[in-house]
Structure 1
Amino acid sequence: MEFEQIFINHMENPVGYEFNDLFINCQIKANSYSNELLKRLKITNSKKEIFSTDWEPANDLSFQPDLQLQSKTRYQVFVELKDKDRIYKKEAFFETGLMTGFKNSQWIGSSDEGIHGIQAIKEINATSKVKKARLYVTGLGLYEVYIDNQKVGDEYLAPGFTNYSYYTQIATLDVTKYLKTSGTHLLKISLGDGWYKGKLGIKEHGGKENQYGNALMTNAELDLEDDIGRLQVIGTDETWKIQTSEITHSGIYYGEDLDETMTPKTLSLKVFEQPSKHLKDRLSLPIKAHEIFRPKKIVTPAGNLVLDFGQNMAGWIEFENDLPKGTKVEIQYGEILQNGELYRENLRSARASFTYVSNGIKHLVRPHFTYFGFRYAKVNGLSNDYDVTNFKAVALYSDMNQIGDIQTDNGLVNQLFSNIQWGQKSNFIDVPTDCPQRDERLGWTGDAAIFAKTASYNMNTAQFNKKFAYDIAVEQSQRQGEVPLYVPNVDGDDGGKAVWGDVATIIPWITYQRYKDTTILKQNFGAMMSWVDWIHDYAKKTKNEFLWLDSDQLGDWLALDTEDIFHLKGKTPDDLIASAYYYQSTLIVSKTAQVLNAKREFDYYRLLANKIRESFINEFFTASGRLITDTQTALALCLHLNLYPKKFKEQLVSKFIERIEKDKNHLTTGFVGTPVLLPALTENNQHDLAVQIFLNDDYPSWLNEVKLGATTIWERWNSVQENGTISENGMNSLNNYSSGAVMQWSYEYLLGIQQKEQLIIAPRITPKFRKLAGYTDLNTGQLAISWKIEDRQGSQVSLKIDIPYDNPAKIILPNTKEWKDNGIVHQNGDVLAPGHHEITYQPTVAFINTYSVHTALKNFNDEKINNKLRELVPFWNFIELPGNFDHFKEFSLLQLSNEMKGIGFSPLTHEQIKKIDAYFREYSKNKIMEKDDK
């Protein structure tokens, strides 16, 4: 056994966070499971023990100690694991911040509203050798800290994006290494507009300025402790100096202007009253620099110098300054080329540029208080023969560990998964945004809700979600429980929309499901209830308090099932979507109450959920079991959420398949339907059809974007057309993540991870892939699964599974009743202990690619097949008449069966369909054997 890591609130050695609730969990690597494993925890403060447990069974590897913490204190965490006679040890730490806000400092800045960049400066005289130094700091808008002109730390865009009127976050910075020597040091806090003061929002043609305030300011306390424990405290006050900055203008949408030839000017200092209602130790993960990309040079037809970094991302471009003093360079950012030139119309009013005037000194040049969404950049001010290897693109995103990935033998699918992960990275910048490039970049709640599970498989989003859940609750507290469309709600915009508002229940619940941490449920239970109560109060004013009717909704956003594919809302009725999510959120709240042992609330919300379900079925289904609409989204949503009359399930599934057949086995779903489309198919024994839709590579499909060169997920299915032309520029991001929610289906069904009360591993093996492998972290370690179809006949399957400690897993494999694990025979559904397992089996039905009644006619190019279809399909002779085959070649047999009813042919019976599929399977198997013989 290897004791790998201790996490505190899902972070490694966190400093300066809010620690209202502690959750300590351990990850180990073990090849076997021990029923005798014991655990114990000890927490010390300056070597004094303040908390400990006795040895106890390690039924799980987590602790939730209840402590009264002190401010400005480092706590050491020691965990011991005992297996028989051997003890394994690991230690970690966490450190508290101010906890109650500043006591020895003031808010200082400049009263000049027209200034977009200032510096607060103080000469620090360390009276003796510094043993420990901490800077507690915040700023409005964004800030960076420098000591002796050296940047402190590796965090950018602090203090993050919050509702600054309600709360501002304080960071705790360990600055000991910058102040090792006694004597004079120069402390500088540089400030820019950021989300606080710069243009922001979607109203008034690209947002408005001064959303939260009109003056830049900072507050900081520096604690210097010497060898004998003497403390020197230096806080921001009237003795500091305020100067202009070389950053003459910056903004999230604007970009940045940096003129290093400027001489700073002294400004009059102003002391401000506290601008935020609350000052809190940080919730936000730091935004850090991650991957680096080097460019390929392009000289465009118009003679412009363009850099191609090969990957759409969020971040900025850096370069080593080697330019003569006074040289001005402008870098314009964009996502795509059109006619060989950089295209920026889809950025709308966002200037999205960085200008730099050189001081002639060699050093690294970068932006400070903005970021960009881009793959390409046009560089003005340099000759076309300039050495572009001097440039590098830096990806910025919140500092989350990547904990999951999937790889297959299909290169397009692998690129899709990469695109999904880059969509996540590009938009998880303190809040989950809709896009990183245009004049928006807001925390749209609907996007976050539908993608939350996928995000949690890809990266450790626990703390990121806790912060965003708090942001949501803050906005709810000012709106009687209603959730706005985006958080923080910079425009004071309307809210109360299904799916978007349901983020209030979905984010905490998914975080609990994935990380088994009840603290997020405790912290948000009130907000979760208030959202459902808000809907219920609204519903009481309509004809039925158990339905969400007659409200303004966004619906199935950007669906393709209307006559005008550029129409923003799909055909699925608003009332159906809203009522379905009313049910889902109520059910989540009842489950949350059960987890928290809140019996009264559990009884109330479970009863409410049951009444909503009953009313939903009565409202949207006829007495004969027909759903009032046949959109893909409506059918998938009802099946996935169990919102249908039980006795009519088969009828509903048949309608679902028929609808997809009418749509030529392609999706037509939008934001609401896309995440549930494939799960609804797989859950209802239509996995082959789900895989077919997933693997489509013509429009509309996920892989069509990949084939057209996408490196991130697009906002629209048709963001870029087949000829490479961008479809429109009003609302067209090439870096979104919403439809990337399909990766959840890939983790849960292709890979087979089902996190129920007991872990279930049930990969839906399909011959459309010969092999597939992936992993994600559970609380106690990494779960890794791979499967492979070993032979062309699909008659041998092997799997390798690594199950982390404390997660015994039920193994359910397709097309078999038994399998072998390291040579030992098991029955399907047996539970395997944690550790490494190598499984083999021979499926009862071979995994081979076959034709089926879902296959488009254009693929039937063998005379043997045509002869058999003449025998089995009553209308096949009609299809073969001149001109008919070309007309119907995109149709499948099942779809044709429905079409033929209109011209006098009987549709295929269930028995005929079974015979056709049986023939196709035998035909495919024989073809493989023929190839092998050759």
Structure 2
Amino acid sequence: MKIIRLKTNRMTNPLGFTLDKTRFSYVVTETEAKNQTAARYEVSLDEAFSNVIYDSGKRDDIDSLAFELPTELQPRTRYYWHVEVWADNGDHAVSETAWFETAKLDEPWNGLWIVPDLDKDVHPVLGRTFELTGEVASARAYVCGLGLYEMQVNGVKAGDEYFAPHFNAYQKWLQYQTYDVTEMLFNGENQVSISLGNGLYKGRFGFDGHAAELYGSEFALLCDIVVTYIDGSTVVISSDRSWTATKSKVMSGNLYDGEVYDATFESSESFAVREGNLGYERLKARLSLPVVVKQEITPIEVIHTPAGETVLDMGQNMVGWLRFRTYAPNGTVIRLQHGEVLQDGNFYRENLRTAKAEYIYKADGQEAVVRPYFTFYGFRYVKVEGWPGELSIEDFTGCVIYSDLEEIGTIETSDPNVNRLFQNALWGQRGNFLDLPTDCNQRDEKMGWTGDAQVFSGTACFNMDSYGFYRKYGYDMGKEQEDRGGWVPSVVPAVNVKTGGSSAWADAATIIPWNVYLHYGDKAILEQQFDSMKGWVDYIIRSDEQAGSRRLWTTGFHFGDWLALDGSDPGSSMGGTDIDFIASAYYRHSSQLVAKAARILGKSELAEYYGRISDEVKAAIEDEFFSKNGRLTINTQTAFTIALHMDLVPDAFRARIVEGLRNRLHLDRKHLKTGFVGTPYLSRVLSENGFSDLAYTLLLNDDYPSWLYAVKLGATTIWERWNSILPDGKINPMGMNSLNHYAYGSIAEWMYRSIAGINPTEDAPGFRRVLLSPQPDLRLKWAKAQIQSAVGLYESEWSISGEGHLSYRFVIPFGATASVKLPDSDITTMIINGQEIGESGIEGMQEGDKSLLELTSGVYEIKYVPTKEYMKRFSSKTPLAELMRNEAVLRNESLMDLMKKVLPRRMEHNPDEFLTAIGDASLRSLSGHFQMDTGVLDQLDERLNALPLNEVNNIEK
């Protein structure tokens, strides 16, 4: 037995974070045991555990998902901890040692806020020399620099992160970071220097003309370096008026336009600093995860465009920067411009709007490795100007930067396009989880839009351990609500965006913390966010009551089903679903989530109150939007979807609403028309209500509008619009075309939940208990997924054999259980780990055409012959378009000769246009219209039925 993944507040060995309630978690692996019987924590001030300050003792109530340390912490102190676990089969293990280290806590600052005596637009470097008079045992630097900063000690960068102190509601709180600088200091003279950049604190940012100085007008720095000698004595080097300022080689820059760096510039003059007046009340130890270089990629090609440009193709839409090596002569100016797509083979960046997105470097004649300091770019293509000599891809490295999140989920299928789609969604998260859940990272936005964050939050938690990331975002959201009466701005931090309070967007306040709780099983996120959750719903209640709307939300601005394709006004982005219906649906959903959170937190009266509000909203929606016979009065995909997903449908009407969604999709030729509101839930609702075949059709469509439409056009991330690029490769002239805009990547959540079938449950969150309900479809021959969940590793895979038999493999981690629901099965014929069900010792029962099993920790291989035919057979009733795409049909010359006798003549002139026009029509259904010989159709049926099933279905025997 082994204990792994030791985390403090879901971070590995965190240094200098706000911990509040310190909570430990771990995972047990490599054991045949099923469950934990007891555990014991020890916490010590030393790694040898000779100075233990807390010992839980052996207890049977310790939960591996979250154990709160009941000890008051001291400032600037490292604590070591380990856990001992006993299992039900007698196994026993002690973990390796983990640690966490506190920041300053309530300890006062020695340092002063200092401001350089320079023009406010000049990028400064603040620093000083200092003398150390002995051997250093340990040293920590506690730093906050505004807008952004990088620290060097004796010429070496402190830490591996970028963009500190990160992006938050600066008017409410300021984060400081902690650095271990022990190994960077000398006995003798030392030098500290801290470079400052604009960031969103004082640089060009936001809407309304992209103003500067949104939070502050001048650079500022606060620093305490606490050095402890080996004799135990300490000295503190603090920011004060003895520090000096010089002008940086960073000549200008901001997050939109990029950066200008002059290596030839030498600042021979030093300038004084003065004391700033920022105060200390807003300072808080960091919540933001470090933003680091998570991957490095090499360009795949140097392109010489028809316009004569030299362009690097990274092969992947990415976020970060290019690091390059140069030997350029003194005075050479190298310019890099960043874009997402080529047009007519040429470099293009008009979709970036006003953002210049460039990096300008003036060389000093020395060999140099170059990268930006205070900006980042979203790009696939980089136009290079001024490069001396021939450009070589070996001189360039793409540095992919995002918050230091652990990737925990993977999906792979038999379809390469589906796999690319999943990777596109994952890359969308990599590119947009840069301290904020940004909506796009290339153009003049880069803001934390709440709607995008909300719809993607479920997918995000499957893909990566997102607890710490959303903890910080939620904290910021709550801070922004404090002066707004619970109203949630459209972006967080709010910068200068004036919109807010929109359904689906502002409901990020309730939906994100609930998803985080569901995935990680730690109610601390609900404790932190409860006032925010409650405040948002209270705002809706007040708006409702003031408008006299009878528990309907009919006031305020709403984005609607943003970018849906069913709106009556082609110039509108809000979709065709009634906005009052969407808003009221979220009113119901959010109040229900607040009631659930209150119940979990032991707030029974509040749980009852918000539960009643939620029920009243549901009743009002039924009165307003459903006919007395159960017809939904709004006939859009999104309306049906959210009615079903958000539990708005009276039980007696559910079957009719499900059928209404099915009919709507058939009217829409089995193509989605949903926007930001409907898309995250559409496929899930279909699968949960017996129409997984339609969900697979939506997944596998590759014409517009569909997910694979973008994949077939070469997308490597998710687009903002379903057709941000047109079939001819031209960018959509309607504008608003981010090619890395992760919201529609929410399809990956359906892939985890329905293809792989892995569903966390509310009654045992953190994947302590799951519903395993994979839904195979022959159009994918196999699929497999892995999730390193909060409780351990889950695996789920299935395949369909050449004979149409189904095989599954499940791995359920230690301490977890699964309710398994397998489709189209007869439990009496099922083979589990080589045994019949009766011999396996596994509990199971038949429910209609499904088998229900109860599984505990372990590995399970299950096989059965499905009760329905999974192998496809062709006939004259098969859609003609499907026949004409099948290789087994096209390769059979005698069969094709027979088909030509009845194929309409229009097929000869423009087959693609004809097949598109007839949709799902078959030869048999077209026979009357085109006067086909029914005898030939009967012969076709015989020939088609005789085709080898494995060839028809493209499955190897």
TM-score by structure 2 length?
Answer: 0.90
Distance 2:28 2:875 in 1: 46
After superposition, the Cα gap between the structure-2 partners of 1:897 and 1:727, relative to the gap in structure 1 and judged at 3 Å, is farther
Distance 1:612 1:895 in 2: 46
After superposition, the Cα gap between the structure-2 partners of 1:729 and 1:429, relative to the gap in structure 1 and judged at 3 Å, is farther
After superposition, the Cα gap between the structure-2 partners of 1:390 and 1:537, relative to the gap in structure 1 and judged at 3 Å, is same
Deviation at 1:545, TM superposition (A): 3.6
After superposition, the Cα gap between the structure-2 partners of 1:483 and 1:421, relative to the gap in structure 1 and judged at 3 Å, is same
Name the residue aligned to 1:697.
702
Q: Secondary structure at the match of 2:814?
A: coil
Check the 8 A contact 1:858/1:890 in 2, yes or no: no
1:839 aligned to 2:849?
A: no
Question: Which residue identity does 1:761 align to in structure 2?
Answer: L
**Aligned to 1:274, which of 274, 278, 296?**
278
TM-score by structure 1 length?
Answer: 0.92
Question: Which residue identity does 1:56 align to in structure 2?
Answer: R
**Aligned to 1:108, which of 107, 111, 114?**
114
**Aligned to 1:814, which of 811, 823, 826?**
823
Question: Which residue identity does 1:829 align to in structure 2?
Answer: L
Q: Secondary structure at the match of 1:57?
A: coil
Q: Secondary structure at the match of 1:307?
A: strand
After superposition, the Cα gap between the structure-2 partners of 1:493 and 1:95, relative to the gap in structure 1 and judged at 3 Å, is same
Deviation at 1:49, TM superposition (A): 2.2
After superposition, the Cα gap between the structure-2 partners of 1:551 and 1:49, relative to the gap in structure 1 and judged at 3 Å, is same
Distance 2:790 2:943 in 1: 45
Distance 1:654 1:546 in 2: 27
1:377 aligned to 2:400?
A: no
Distance 2:956 2:735 in 1: 58
Q: Deviations over 1:416-474 (max 9, x none)?
A: 11110011110000010010100001000000000000000001100000000001001
Deviation at 1:36, TM superposition (A): 6.0
Check the 8 A contact 1:783/1:801 in 2, yes or no: yes
Check the 8 A contact 1:850/1:920 in 2, yes or no: no
Q: Deviations over 1:350-379 (max 9, x none)?
A: 111111111222231100000000001011
Which shifted more, 23-32 or 673-682? 23-32
Question: Which residue identity does 1:417 align to in structure 2?
Answer: F
Name the residue aligned to 2:781.
770
Question: Which residue identity does 1:136 align to in structure 2?
Answer: Y
Distance 1:404 1:36 in 2: 25
Query: What percentage of residue pairs aligned between the two structures are identical?
Result: 36
Check the 8 A contact 2:304/2:310 in 1, yes or no: yes
**Aligned to 2:217, which of 214, 218, 222?**
214
Name the residue aligned to 2:896.
none
Q: How does 1:21-170 map to 2 (within 5 A)?
A: 21-35=21-35, 37-46=37-46, 47-57=50-60, 60-62=63-65, 63-83=67-87, 84=90, 86-100=92-106, 102-170=108-176
Name the residue aligned to 2:566.
561
Name the residue aligned to 1:594.
599
1:740 aligned to 2:745?
A: yes
Check the 8 A contact 2:595/2:607 in 1, yes or no: yes
Check the 8 A contact 2:39/2:62 in 1, yes or no: no
**Aligned to 2:320, which of 289, 295, 315?**
315
After superposition, the Cα gap between the structure-2 partners of 1:559 and 1:321, relative to the gap in structure 1 and judged at 3 Å, is same
Check the 8 A contact 1:134/1:222 in 2, yes or no: yes
After superposition, the Cα gap between the structure-2 partners of 1:629 and 1:195, relative to the gap in structure 1 and judged at 3 Å, is same
Check the 8 A contact 1:320/1:390 in 2, yes or no: yes
Distance 2:279 2:356 in 1: 29
Name the residue aligned to 2:536.
531
1:928 aligned to 2:949?
A: yes
Name the residue aligned to 2:803.
793
Distance 1:792 1:820 in 2: 18
Check the 8 A contact 2:875/2:945 in 1, yes or no: no
Q: How does 1:335-346 map to 2 (within 5 A)?
A: 335-346=340-351
Q: Secondary structure at the match of 1:541?
A: helix
Distance 1:744 1:355 in 2: 40
1:290 aligned to 2:294?
A: yes
After superposition, the Cα gap between the structure-2 partners of 1:862 and 1:705, relative to the gap in structure 1 and judged at 3 Å, is closer
Distance 2:533 2:631 in 1: 33
After superposition, the Cα gap between the structure-2 partners of 1:59 and 1:23, relative to the gap in structure 1 and judged at 3 Å, is closer
Deviation at 1:50, TM superposition (A): 2.2
Check the 8 A contact 1:816/1:844 in 2, yes or no: yes
Distance 2:865 2:946 in 1: 15
Question: Which residue identity does 1:306 align to in structure 2?
Answer: V
Question: Which residue identity does 1:284 align to in structure 2?
Answer: S
Deviation at 1:842, TM superposition (A): 2.0
**Aligned to 1:448, which of 427, 450, 453?**
453
1:257 aligned to 2:260?
A: yes
After superposition, the Cα gap between the structure-2 partners of 1:116 and 1:635, relative to the gap in structure 1 and judged at 3 Å, is farther
Q: How does 1:467-506 map to 2 (within 5 A)?
A: 467-506=472-511
Distance 1:306 1:880 in 2: 49
Deviation at 1:882, TM superposition (A): 7.4
Check the 8 A contact 2:760/2:771 in 1, yes or no: yes
Check the 8 A contact 1:313/1:374 in 2, yes or no: yes
Q: Secondary structure at the match of 2:547?
A: coil
Question: Which residue identity does 1:281 align to in structure 2?
Answer: A
Deviation at 1:86, TM superposition (A): 3.5
After superposition, the Cα gap between the structure-2 partners of 1:142 and 1:894, relative to the gap in structure 1 and judged at 3 Å, is same
Which shifted more, 599-608 or 648-657? 648-657
Check the 8 A contact 1:664/1:890 in 2, yes or no: no
Question: Which residue identity does 2:783 align to in structure 1?
Answer: L
Deviation at 1:542, TM superposition (A): 2.2
1:805 aligned to 2:814?
A: yes
Unaligned runs of 5+ in 1: 867-878, 904-915
Name the residue aligned to 2:337.
332
Question: Which residue identity does 1:285 align to in structure 2?
Answer: L
Deviation at 1:897, TM superposition (A): 13
Q: Secondary structure at the match of 1:522?
A: helix
Deviation at 1:929, TM superposition (A): 6.7
Name the residue aligned to 1:784.
795
Which shifted more, 33-42 or 456-465? 33-42
Check the 8 A contact 2:82/2:94 in 1, yes or no: no
**Aligned to 2:670, which of 651, 654, 665?**
665
Check the 8 A contact 1:799/1:839 in 2, yes or no: yes
Check the 8 A contact 1:168/1:280 in 2, yes or no: yes
After superposition, the Cα gap between the structure-2 partners of 1:128 and 1:110, relative to the gap in structure 1 and judged at 3 Å, is same
Question: Which residue identity does 1:515 align to in structure 2?
Answer: Y
1:237 aligned to 2:232?
A: no
Q: Deviations over 1:606-645 (max 9, x none)?
A: 1111111111111111112111111111111111222112
Distance 1:150 1:637 in 2: 54
1:460 aligned to 2:470?
A: no
Name the residue aligned to 1:197.
202
Check the 8 A contact 1:111/1:215 in 2, yes or no: no
Q: Secondary structure at the match of 2:819?
A: strand
Distance 2:381 2:876 in 1: 45
After superposition, the Cα gap between the structure-2 partners of 1:559 and 1:55, relative to the gap in structure 1 and judged at 3 Å, is same
Count of residue pairs brought into register by the alignment:
901
Name the residue aligned to 2:848.
none
Q: Deviations over 1:82-111 (max 9, x none)?
A: 242643333200000012365200011225
Name the residue aligned to 2:853.
830
Distance 1:402 1:351 in 2: 32
Q: Secondary structure at the match of 1:689?
A: helix
Distance 1:862 1:508 in 2: 46
Q: Deviations over 1:711-767 (max 9, x none)?
A: 000000010000000113741100010000010000000000111133111111111
Question: Which residue identity does 1:338 align to in structure 2?
Answer: Q
Distance 2:441 2:646 in 1: 32
Which shifted more, 709-718 or 259-268? 259-268
Q: Secondary structure at the match of 1:284?
A: coil
Check the 8 A contact 1:134/1:174 in 2, yes or no: yes
Check the 8 A contact 1:849/1:924 in 2, yes or no: no
Deviation at 1:14, TM superposition (A): 0.5
Distance 1:39 1:345 in 2: 59
After superposition, the Cα gap between the structure-2 partners of 1:899 and 1:161, relative to the gap in structure 1 and judged at 3 Å, is farther
After superposition, the Cα gap between the structure-2 partners of 1:666 and 1:898, relative to the gap in structure 1 and judged at 3 Å, is farther
Unaligned runs of 5+ in 2: 764-768, 838-843, 845-850, 890-901, 930-936
